[in-house]
Structure 1
């Protein structure tokens, strides 16, 4: 059951907690800006001695601006496939090259572009496609350069598949060893099988000495659902879909209505 007020409970844990924040639609508003109230709230958590980390579908090169502005050096990237603790990479889970080869052939035969991502860059399987342009622009990046062989000989941690919802079923049925998570009407994130933000968070909190009950997470989209269920305190943004709100322990205000600051007060982490 989703709770909209903080519960009073007693745990045999230390007072320091770890708080994970998704980026798009959670920390960043609809204009991809970081609200002043969110920035001040995160800095206050840090002043109180709590650990703060990002948990995002973005690649490391796509999250650096937010990380630097918030003075965060721990993160779960690529929806859990790439984990950094205090500036040190501690876990990665790349695709098998053969898996991406099969996916690439099938997507090309279906006329659907892919974008391959590693920690430093991204490349498209097609020279130009309107779906790629629209989706990547929503992240404030330009259409990637074309290199359909980019996945060969390097670790790829996440791939974007560009197709509409009725067309995705063929991929789910054919590639059962991969996970597909829709994040845009025209795009899905493709992950190695079993990959999720929850898995990446488990790697980080274990290394930092926390229990799941001592972890908090804020998210707003479908790729946040495992994360919100895994941590002891999952907080859905007010702008999240109903299915996300229903599995979260708490629901805060919209991202553009001081949702981060309000949620942190709700759960008792800030006065």
Structure 2
């Protein structure tokens, strides 16, 4: 515990995942203790950031009301500060999108386009509804959306998502990160939440050992390798639990507050 407290004493910014970290994905429940946490961190002059697979459209009002200092969205592909000024953007080329669409069609998979503040899907059905409704609600169908808007990420949707493999033509450009039984994020090979968070640190002149993060899913994997101190929620994927410096209680039991108090970052 002494080593953990030493790491905690160096923290100047904390990044938080949203789903099943700040709030419960399936019920939208967010404990009142989260507001207390953000207020206490501000009083201690510790900066806060959201690090999420969601885009800006998916950063729900109760999260925005916490007034985080930074938003690292779309798994690090789009980053902005608290004044809504972009810090970093990494979009797909039209050629890459077209290659992904051709591959999705060959795999008999539907797909979604993720823009900075909007989303579109190639179709709408019960399978897509089950995966995406709890996060974004019902989305508009627009198969050629990329022709008019920048795309930062795409999603697969199928009942055989675990069997879908990238073709050789795409493996050097993108990778798959599963987040749901029927869906995976399609992200740049070099893209991750850690890269987006590093862009924030570059602007602030901070080092990774001065950053802390809370998360639970496989899209937090790179963050858990990068940050000076990483905390996993009790419900986290086994790989995240293995990588964590500290494991805390679940959202409903005020896990974030408990961890920050145990690590003596806030009272």
TM-score normalised to the size of structure 2?
0.92
Per the TM alignment, residue 39 of structure 1 is displaced from its structure 2 partner at its CA by 1.9
Task: Choose from 20, 27, 32 the match for 2:15.
Answer: 20
Counterpart for residue 41 of structure 1: 37
Aligned counterpart, 1:105: 102
Q: Which of 200, 203, 212 is the aligned partner of 2:199?
A: 203
Asked whether the equivalents of residues 16 and 49 of structure 1 are also in contact (C-alpha less than 8 Å), the reply is no
In the TM superposition, residue 102 of structure 1 has moved relative to its aligned partner by 1.0
Superposition deviation, residue 255 in structure 1: 1.5
1:60 paired to 2:69: no
- Aligned in 2, Cα 1:229/1:129: closer, same or farther, shift over 3 Å? same
User: Which residue of 2 is the match for residue 93 of structure 1?
Assistant: 90
> Where do 5+ consecutive residues of structure 2 fail to align?
none
Q: Which moved more, 1:100-109 or 1:60-69?
A: 60-69
- Under a length normalisation based on structure 1, what TM-score does the superposition of the two structures give? 0.91
Q: Could you say what secondary structure the match of 1:9 adopts?
A: helix
**Aligned-residue offset at 1:62:** 1.1
CA shift for structure 1 position 6: 6.2
1:68 Cα deviation from its structure 2 partner:
2.4
- Cα–Cα, structure 1 residues 268 and 99, in superposed 2: closer, same or farther, change >3 Å? same
Q: CA-atom RMSD, angstroms?
A: 2.0
- Seen in structure 2, the aligned counterparts of structure 1 residues 118 and 10 have a Cα distance that, compared at 3 Å, is closer
Partner of 1:74 in structure 2?
70
Unaligned residue ranges in structure 1 (runs of 5+): none
Asked whether the 8 Å contact 1:27–1:255 carries over to 2, the reply is yes
**Whole-angstrom distance in 2 between the partners of 1:73 and 1:61:** 17
